[in-house]
Amino acid sequence: GLKKKEVHVLCLGLDNSGKTTIINKLKPSNAQVQDIVPTIGFSIEKFKSSSLSFTVFDMSGQGRYRNLWEHYYKDGQAIIFVVDSSDKLRMVVAKEELDTLLNHPDIKHRRIPILFFANKMDLRDAVTSVKVSQLLCLENIKDKPWHICASDALKGEGLQEGVDWLQEKTV
Ligand code: GTP
Ligand code: MG
């Protein structure tokens, strides 16, 4: 058959934001796992959209592993950045990590698309995706295409919209 174009994606964000849960839900149901545990280091995952074949570096968001992220920036063609919308206390930490990412020499001058998931929208404490984008100051990102989707990774809500956007922006 026709081979889909391959795209390397980095999945970043703090621990417990829901990165692995999101990537798992994007796989065909027969490839999904039931029990998701905190990622150690990183894990390489694959999923497909209608025209693309994504290879995802699902990085651990734990503090002690975050220094691994930058080693994979060079090969990344797109970024998925996941935020726990209910974790107001650590939103500032998420912003710090995002700013560090955006200022990294391997990212700074490249027009790579960044898809944000304002995840855990099902939780009562969750703030809206508009609020998340304000707290992360996303309007300051002027040299890269970006998009934010509200998501509930447990139900899989909002994920397809994000992937559709990523597919459209990935050239
Ligand atoms: P690290 O691998 O440690 O960086 O974490 P992660 O970002 O991969 O988070 P993970 O996918 O392991 O999810 C962390 C916890 O949040 C798990 O208990 C998930 O079930 C839960 N979770 C993920 N997404 C959602 C969501 O949309 N809503 C709710 N309520 N819980 C979620
Ligand atoms: Mg994980």
Residues bordering ligand 2, an ion, CB closer than 5 Å: 19-20, 39
User: What is the 171 CA–ligand 1 centroid distance (Å)?
Assistant: 30
CA distance 39 to 33: 14
For 23-63, the pLDDT digits (tens) are 999 999 999 999 999 999 999 999 999 999 999 999 999 99
Residue 106's nearest CA partner among 141, 82, 76, 134 is 76
For 125-135, the pLDDT digits (tens) are 999 999 999 99
User: What is the 11 CA–ligand 2 centroid distance (Å)?
Assistant: 9
Question: Considering every ligand atom, which ligand is closest to the CA of 62?
Answer: 1
For 62-91, the pLDDT digits (tens) are 999 999 999 999 999 999 999 999 999 999
pLDDT above 90 coverage of the chain, percent: 97
CA distance 72 to 141: 21
Assessment of whether the complete model's pTM goes beyond 0.95: yes
Give the chain's largest Cα–Cα span.
49
Question: Considering every ligand atom, which ligand is closest to the CA of 65?
Answer: 1
Six token digits for residue 9: 């994606």
Q: Is the ipTM of this complex over 0.90?
A: yes
Q: 161 pLDDT band (50/70/90 cuts)?
A: very high
The predicted structure's pLDDT at residue 93: 98
The predicted structure's pLDDT at residue 1: 65
Helices (H) and strands (E) in the chain, counts: 5, 6
